[in-house]
Amino acid sequence: MRTTATPLRGALIGCGYVSQFHLEGWSRVPDARIVALCDMDRERLERASARAPEARCHTEAAKLFDHEDRLDFVEICTQPESHGELTELAARHGVHILCQKPAALERPEFRAMIDACITAGVRLMIHENWRFRPWNRALRAEIDSAVGPARVTLRPAMELDGVRMIASLAFDGYGPAILPATAVPGHLRERFAVVPLDGFPRRRVGIAQRRRGLPSAPVRAVIDILGLVVSDPLAMPEGIHPT
């Protein structure tokens, strides 16, 4: 069993602007430490190294995995174009993955990332710093209160960011998901039931306009269409409440 005496060993790939905040965050986690850094740009690598002076530096991700022993996790902070290749590389080495959002630019690439992690038996988590917001904690409490009496054990395999991505994967049969009513298109409402969650705030959608200046023609057209949509409450699909 791992204790605080043997912290998790992690690597960070991608030492661009956002990495400074991640490295500072990792420095505050007593049960984990960053032991390796990787970036093709040596200048960025040196700047990141100043925040994690004990970490070894690499300019190639493949060599990082070849040279670093006993990595528990890797954080991928590169551009989304490289997420697929780096995720599959980490999975082949049996390393759990925390990947910056957006996970991928195309659904097939994201599916390949998921399949690679399932095959390798490692976890894939997409970075989303809003998961600890009060409303998300309320949703987790609602789930836990339901699965406990039913003697159901939830085992997370990955965390995703983006309602559309989660909805697409759920509708394609990859697994269950909790989604807002607006995410269920009309042609699928006969296959999926809309279930209200008591005590959970509604997802609000609206339009913000500047006090000065007139909206452009496209913006006015969108406003007009939305006005027509919400003008007939009886035509609203179940779970959508115009105000």
CA angle, 107 then 143 then 94, to 5°: 50
The rounded distance, in Å, linking the Cα atoms of 91 and 136 is 28
- Look at 191 and 65; give whichever has higher pLDDT: 65
The per-residue pLDDT for 1 is 40
The rounded distance, in Å, linking the Cα atoms of 179 and 192 is 11
**pLDDT tens digits, one per residue of 114-161:** 999 999 999 999 987 666 777 777 777 888 888 888 888 777 666 666
Q: Pseudo-torsion of CA 165, 170, 176, 180, nearest 10°?
A: 60
Which secondary-structure segment (H or E) carries 85? Answer: helix 83-92
User: Mean pLDDT in the chain?
Assistant: 84
Q: Would you identify the CATH topology of the domain 8-126?
A: Rossmann fold (3.40.50)
The rounded distance, in Å, linking the Cα atoms of 87 and 61 is 11
**pLDDT tens digits, one per residue of 61-102:** 999 999 998 899 999 999 999 999 999 999 999 999 999 988
Looking at the chain, the whole-number percentage of residues with pLDDT higher than 90 is 43
Q: Domain coordinates of the chain in residue numbers?
A: 8-126, 134-188, 205-243
pLDDT confidence of 40, banded at 50, 70, 90? very high
Mean pLDDT on 7-17: 95
The per-residue pLDDT for 199 is 65
Lowest mean pLDDT among 23-27, 82-86, 179-183, 206-210: 206-210
> What is the pTM (predicted TM-score) of this model?
0.59
The per-residue pLDDT for 134 is 78
